């Protein structure tokens, strides 16, 4: 038994030394929120999702803006048609070039052409709906980013309260260890005086060892909670964070909302996503209509590279109508129709699920409120019981086992009380998150 206790004590002291060697940094919730807003990776990813949607929308400017291309081409040919055409474009034809022998068997001819080409969309109905869909998607991503920020605020609330709870548990167990060690000293003195048996002293020793193990676990919980807060802040330094304020019952605003607001950013984003699918379905239907585009080009020709002694231009408009493209367009329209119908069902399901979560959260808050009153009363009763039994134990009027039970119960009731405070504050924060418009 002595060897076992020595090993446990050594392990405990080693852990304490390791913990003390780390830098403990006090931090407030406001500081955490500011750092999360600046550095959190989830927020940055959400912002890049919005930028991606914004870039997709900018691409749809192509239905209004012209497509301009410049090219320079050089050829050398003895092809009769190409040779004659090249000279014609260069405006260097002579009467001798109409000699049938030269027409049929021309000399090597060089031609260099510079071409500036412009294509201007005029009427592309499907493109208008595609642009509308892209804009709606961009607005939905903006709302999604907003909701991500709301979620991170809620997550910081929860993580910070978990850190507070971890330190409260550590404080409770440290006090329990001091009380257990004090009782151990009393038990050893009573044993030396013949008032207690060896078994009673060993029972107290076991209690001290148990509390030391609980203390080690409490320190691990502190590190785990601290690491999660650091993760939210995207902080990779090896520091142990300590909340600058303790876990207390927050002064709460009464939340009376019974229905989930459809103005909540994530719900509005779902609605906009459904609207985007509707626009895409209309765009696919509009591909059955003809399109009208204007085009024009200006060309420079010469037999020397990057020269242009001869020039010409071409302007025109094209009305095109693809009557039948197999069944590709029919299938695409059917697919986008199914996607639109699915998005409407997903929206309805999401609203229903959000309402379910709200109802559940309201019940959770009421349960936590009732539990808070009971756990506080239970803690006060166990504290009074421990005080009475400790006094009687000092006078030799109380069994060691009864004292240990009272001591254990008081520590448990304290932990339950602080856990209930956490649950109460968390339930209210969750309600705020669910009802935020």
CATH of the domain at 166: 1.20.1600.10
Range of the domain at 406: 2-39+124-287+324-435
Specify if 271 maps to a domain: yes
Specify if 89 maps to a domain: no
CB-neighbour burial class of residue 196 (10 A; exposed 0-12, middle 13-18, buried 19+): buried
Helix (H), strand (E) counts: the chain: 10, 6
Query: Using a CB cutoff of 8 Å and minimum separation of 24, what contacts does 197-203 make?
Result: 200/400, 200/401, 202/1, 203/400, 203/401, 203/404
Q: Show the beta-strand stretches assigned E in 78-197.
A: 109-123
Can you tell me the distance from the alpha carbon of 415 to that of 370, in angstroms, rounded to the nearest whole number? 17
User: Tens digits of per-residue pLDDT, 337-378?
Assistant: 999 999 999 999 999 999 999 999 999 999 999 999 999 999
pLDDT at 9: 47
Mean pLDDT computed over 150-176: 94
Specify if 79 maps to a domain: no
Specify if 431 maps to a domain: yes
Specify if 192 maps to a domain: yes
Q: Of 166, 188, 62, 197, nearest to 121 (Cα)?
A: 62
Contact assessment for residue 322 and residue 334, using Cβ atoms and an 8 Å cutoff = no
Can you tell me the distance from the alpha carbon of 225 to that of 77, in angstroms, rounded to the nearest whole number? 78
Can you tell me the distance from the alpha carbon of 8 to that of 389, in angstroms, rounded to the nearest whole number? 29
Specify if 372 maps to a domain: yes
Can you tell me the distance from the alpha carbon of 91 to that of 113, in angstroms, rounded to the nearest whole number? 13
pLDDT at 400: 72
Domain count, the chain: 1
Helix spans in 234-264 (H)? none
Specify if 147 maps to a domain: yes
Looking at 6-20, 179-193, 295-309, which range is the least confident one?
6-20
| Enclosing H/E stretch for 318 | strand 310-320
Neighbouring residues of 253: CB distance < 8 A, sequence distance ≥ 6: none
Q: What share of the chain is helix, strand, coil (3-state, %, to 5)?
A: 70, 15, 15
**Mean predicted lDDT score pLDDT of the chain:** 88
User: Tens digits of per-residue pLDDT, 61-77?
Assistant: 999 999 999 999 999 99
Confidence tier at 387 by pLDDT (50, 70, 90): confident
CB-neighbour burial class of residue 403 (10 A; exposed 0-12, middle 13-18, buried 19+): buried
Specify if 209 maps to a domain: yes
Greatest alpha-carbon span in the chain? 140
pTM of the model: 0.82
């Amino acid at each position: 038994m002595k060897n076992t206790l020595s090993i446990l004590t050594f392990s405990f002291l080693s852990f304490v030394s390791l913990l003390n060697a780390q830098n403990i940094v006090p931090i407030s919730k406001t500081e955490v929120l500011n750092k999360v807003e600046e550095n959190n990776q989830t927020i940055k990813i959400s912002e890049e999702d919005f930028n991606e949607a914004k870039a997709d929308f900018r691409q749809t400017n192509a239905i209004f803006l012209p497509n301009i291309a410049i090219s320079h081409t050089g050829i050398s040919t003895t092809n009769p048609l190409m040779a004659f055409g090249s000279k014609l474009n260069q405006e260097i034809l002579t009467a001798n070039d109409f000699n049938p022998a030269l027409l049929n068997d021309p000399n090597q001819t060089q031609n260099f052409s510079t071409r500036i080409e412009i294509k201007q969309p005029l009427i592309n109905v499907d493109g208008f709906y595609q642009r509308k869909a892209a804009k709606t998607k961009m607005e939905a991503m903006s709302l999604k980013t907003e909701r991500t920020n709301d979620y991170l605020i809620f997550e910081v609330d929860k993580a910070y309260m978990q850190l507070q709870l971890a330190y409260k548990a550590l404080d409770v167990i440290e006090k329990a260890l001091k009380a257990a060690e004090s009782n151990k000293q009393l038990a050893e003195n009573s044993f030396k005086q013949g008032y207690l048996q060896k078994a009673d002293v060993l029972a107290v020793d076991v209690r001290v060892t148990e509390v030391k193990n609980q203390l080690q676990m409490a320190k691990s919980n502190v590190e785990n909670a601290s690491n999660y807060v650091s993760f939210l802040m995207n902080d990779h330094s090896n520091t142990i964070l300590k909340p600058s304020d303790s876990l207390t019952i927050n002064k709460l605003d009464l939340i009376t909302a019974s229905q989930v607001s459809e103005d909540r950013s994530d719900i509005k984003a779902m609605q906009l996503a459904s609207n985007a699918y509707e626009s895409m379905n209309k765009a696919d239907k509009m591909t059955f209509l003809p399109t009208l585009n204007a085009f024009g080009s200006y060309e420079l020709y010469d037999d020397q590279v990057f020269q242009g002694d001869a020039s010409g231009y071409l302007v025109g408009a094209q009305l095109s109508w693809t009557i039948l493209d197999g069944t590709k367009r029919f299938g695409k329209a059917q697919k986008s129709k199914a996607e639109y119908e699915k998005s409407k069902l997903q929206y309805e399901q999401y609203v229903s699920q959000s309402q379910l979560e709200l109802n559940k959260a309201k019940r959770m808050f009421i349960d936590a409120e009732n539990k808070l009153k009971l756990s506080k009363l239970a803690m006060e009763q166990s504290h009074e019981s421990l005080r009475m039994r400790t006094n009687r134990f000092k006078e030799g009027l109380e069994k060691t086992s009864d004292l240990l039970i009272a001591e254990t119960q008081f520590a448990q009731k304290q932990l339950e009380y602080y856990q209930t405070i956490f649950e109460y504050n968390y339930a209210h924060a969750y309600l705020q998150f669910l009802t935020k418009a």
